Structure 1
Amino acid sequence: MNLALWIVAGLLAAAYLLGGVFKAVTPKEKIAAAGASGRWVDDFSAGAVKAIGAVEVLAAAGLILPAVLDIAPVLVPLAALGLVILMLGAAVTRFRRHELKLVAVDLVYILLAAFVAWGRFGPESFIS
C-alpha cells in the first residue's frame, strides 16, 4: 500500500508540476490556442490562470517534499485534499462548458488525489 501511495503521489506530482509550470509561464492566449483542452482559460483572467498554475506547483511539492524531508509530513494528505478541491472546480468548469470527456479525466485525477489523501491520513499515515 505504501508503495502504491508513493507511486500515485509521484505521478500526480509530476503531472501537476508540468501543468502548473505551463500555466504559470504560458500566456493565456497560447493556452487557449492549444486546442479543446485549453479553452477553459476563456472563463478566467490571465492572473487567475497563473494563480491556478502556482497552486498546482505548490501542490506538487506538497505531495512529495514534506515526506521526503520529514518536515511536517501531515502536509502530504493536505496537499492531496487541496488537489481534490482544485479538480472539483476544474470538473465543474468543464461540465458548464459541456466538455464531458474532459470531466471524466478530471474525475480520474480526483480519485487518485483522494486515494493519496485517504492513504496518508489513514492506513499509511506519516503521523505516529
Structure 2
Amino acid sequence: MDLALWIAAGLLAVVAVTGGVTKMFIPTEKLAVVRGGGWTADAGVGFVKTLGVLEFLAAAGLVLPAVLGIAPVLVPVTAACWILLMVGAMITHGRRGEFALAGLNLVYLAVAAFIAWGRFGTWSFTG
C-alpha cells in the first residue's frame, strides 16, 4: 500500500506541476481558447497565476516533505487542500457545462482523497 500511495502522490504531483506551469507561464488569452481553459477568459490574470503557483506548490507538497523527511505530515495536508481545489474546479467546469472536465477533476479528487486517507491513517510517515 505504501508503494501505491507513493505512485499516487507522484502522479498527482505531475498533474499539479503541469497545471501550475501552464497557468503561470502561458498567457490567459492562449489558455482561454484551449479545451478546458475557457474559464480563464472570465477570470483575472492574477487569479489564474495564483492558481498556477498554488498548483506548483501542491506538486512540491505532495512529494518533497516525505522525500526530504522534513514535516512529512504536509503530504496528506497538501492532498486535503488539493481536494478543496478540485471541488472548486468541478464547480467551475460544471457551471460551464464541461462535465467531462468536471469528471476528470473528480478523478484527481479521488486520488488526493486516497493519499490523504492513507497518509493520515495507517501508512502515515510518522507511524
1:95 offset after TM fit, Å? 0.8
Q: How many residues align?
A: 127
Aligned to 2:18: 18
3-state DSSP of counterpart to 1:72: coil
Aligned to 2:90: 91
TM-score, length-scaled by structure 1: 0.96
TM-score, length-scaled by structure 2: 0.97
3-state DSSP of counterpart to 1:127: coil
Aligned to 1:5: 5
RMSD: 0.8
Distance 1:22 1:48 in 2: 13
Aligned to 1:105: 104
Establish whether residue 120 from structure 1 lines up as the match of residue 119 from structure 2.
yes
3-state DSSP of counterpart to 1:37: coil
Establish whether residue 28 from structure 1 lines up as the match of residue 28 from structure 2.
yes
Distance 2:17 2:53 in 1: 9
- Unpaired segments ≥5 residues, structure 2: none
Establish whether residue 67 from structure 1 lines up as the match of residue 66 from structure 2.
yes
Equivalent AA in structure 1 for residue 48 of structure 2: V
- Identity %, equivalent residues: 54
Greater than 2 Å deviation, 4+ residue runs: none
